[in-house]
A and B are shown apart, each in its own frame.
Chain A
Amino acid sequence: MTVCFPVEAGHVLMFARSLGAADPPGGRPAPGDPVPPTFAIASSQFDPDYPLRPRPGEPWHGSGAGPGLVREGAGGLHAEQHFIYERPLRVGDVLTSTSHPGQVWEKQGRSGRLRFREQITEFRDEAGHLVLTARSVSVQREAP
């Protein structure tokens, strides 16, 4: 899957604020400014198929009049996250990310078998140079 991820000043500002950062001088980030080290995760905003965002006309599992619904095939919990930076991500970058599944392994937990899944995402700039690699590990409890 390929996603185009423009690193926009307003988006970086909102993300940094949510991490408790003071606004930069001038009120918003300038082109070329470095972004918070975990900002690449916000590329999900630009992923048309990202499952954890409500969409018009589609059911959503959160509460409304009722308490919500148990979601089938929920992705489990986030167990690990790793980033390798070839260079800092900067405001004004237009990146393309491609994602593929990595390893899958199992472990015996206290309350049953745990299944770990890796997802690897590479972010490249407009010249095709690798900017960063993200490796995410999710964990899900298997039915006993």
Chain B
Amino acid sequence: MTTRSQISGLAVGQTFETVVVEDLKRTQIVQYAGASGDYNPLHTDDRYATTIAGYPSVFAHGMLTMGLTGQAVAALVGPDNLLRFGVRFTAQVWPGDTLTVRSTLARIEETADGPVAELSVSTVNTEGAEVLSGYAHARLAG
């Protein structure tokens, strides 16, 4: 895995887009449940999610959406360079959703340890509705 930052090619205000999942499958949600250890049946048990919890179906863990977003951000800045990554979950992600991560270089802060890129991060679904809104700060490595 390369740790060289692709972001050095971006100018302030520019946006980098990555499709992180197409037609999200229930199986991927199950896969995430098993790996993360969050077995909340809201995410993996359709009968529970509809009959007991009153949702139209199961839906993805917020942390699956953040995890997918984080993969795109790490690929952009280089996984060794990430200093901060934070998000708010703004809407649910359903099976069948296609998610696109938009990372915009908001500014470059000069710090004692060198330049730090501040990105605003937004993940949107097929309809263009935002499901996650956040930020990432990363060291600008050579």
* Chain A residues close to B by CB (< 8 Å): 11, 14-15, 17-21, 24, 33-38, 41-42, 44-45, 50, 52-54, 61-63, 67-70, 77-85, 88, 135
Contact = CB atoms under 8 A, between A and B. Distances in A.
B55 to A, nearest CB: 11
Contact of B74 (A14, A17, A37): A37
Given A79-B89, A81-B66, A63 B48 contact: yes
Contacts of B89: 77-81
B85 A42 contact: no
B56 interface: no
B83 A84 contact: yes
B82 A85 contact: yes
Interface string B53-69: 00000000111101110
Interface residues of B, number: 42
A84 to B, nearest CB: 5
Contacts of B80: 34, 88
A78 B63 contact: yes
Contacts of A37: 70-71, 73-74, 79, 82, 85
Contacts of A18: 28, 31-32, 34-36, 64, 67
